[in-house]
Amino acid sequence: MERDRRWIVAALLLGVLLLPACRAASSGTDESEPYTLESIEGTELSRVILTAKGAERIGLETTTVVGGTVPASAIWIDVDGQEWVYTSPEPLTFVREAVIVDRYEGDVAMLSDGPTSGTEIVIVGVAELIGSEFGI
């Protein structure tokens, strides 16, 4: 299980490192940012708000939480070992939420704490949202 987590973290970090290269390789005439950040009062978190073009560029995909389970691709583990997912409370708006993964079963993470069933979460584009939120 620990080995699986290391692969997930490694894959996400690789994606975050490649994000600036993708932006530099972009050859569009539109100079506007594909996202904006809004601080969430009383927290250290920010809302990441993508443009429609920004979401398209990163191939963003979402799904909903079902019975405390989420695809393992939705989980991000930070350098302190805290596990997170990005929820989508509004279209093109994403907020990081702490979760506790009880265990992984293949490509599925079984949560002991996290968003309720029906909450929309990001499953593709997590690394890019991390990079946007942290300015990487």
Asked if the model's pLDDT at residue 31 lies above 60, the reply is: no
What residue ranges do the domains of the chain occupy?
Answer: 2-26+46-134
CA distance 69 to 48: 24
Interior/surface letters 42-73, b for 16+ CB within 10 angstroms, e for the rest: eeebbbbbbeeebbebbebebeebeebebbbb
Asked if the model's pLDDT at residue 42 lies above 90, the reply is: yes
User: Per-residue pLDDT averaged across 52-67, rounded?
Assistant: 96
For residue 109, count other CB atoms closer than 10 A to its CB: 26
User: Per-residue pLDDT averaged across 115-121, rounded?
Assistant: 97
pTM: 0.76
At 27 the pLDDT is 46
The fraction of the chain above a pLDDT of 70, given in percent, is 77
Helix (H) or strand (E) holding 21: helix 2-25
> Within the chain, how many helices (H) and strands (E) appear?
3, 9
Start-to-end C-alpha separation, the chain:
28
Among the residue ranges 29-33, 62-66, 72-76, the one predicted with the least confidence is 29-33
Long-range interactions of 9-15: CB distance < 8 A, separation 24+: 9/77, 11/127, 12/76, 12/77, 12/126, 12/127, 12/130, 13/127, 14/127, 15/126, 15/127, 15/128, 15/131
At 135 the pLDDT is 87
Q: Which amino acid is at 15?
A: G
Asked if the model's pLDDT at residue 82 lies above 80, the reply is: yes
- Cβ–Cβ under 8 Å, residues 54 and 107: no
CATH number of 2-26+46-134: 2.40.420.20
User: Per-residue pLDDT averaged across 94-120, rounded?
Assistant: 97
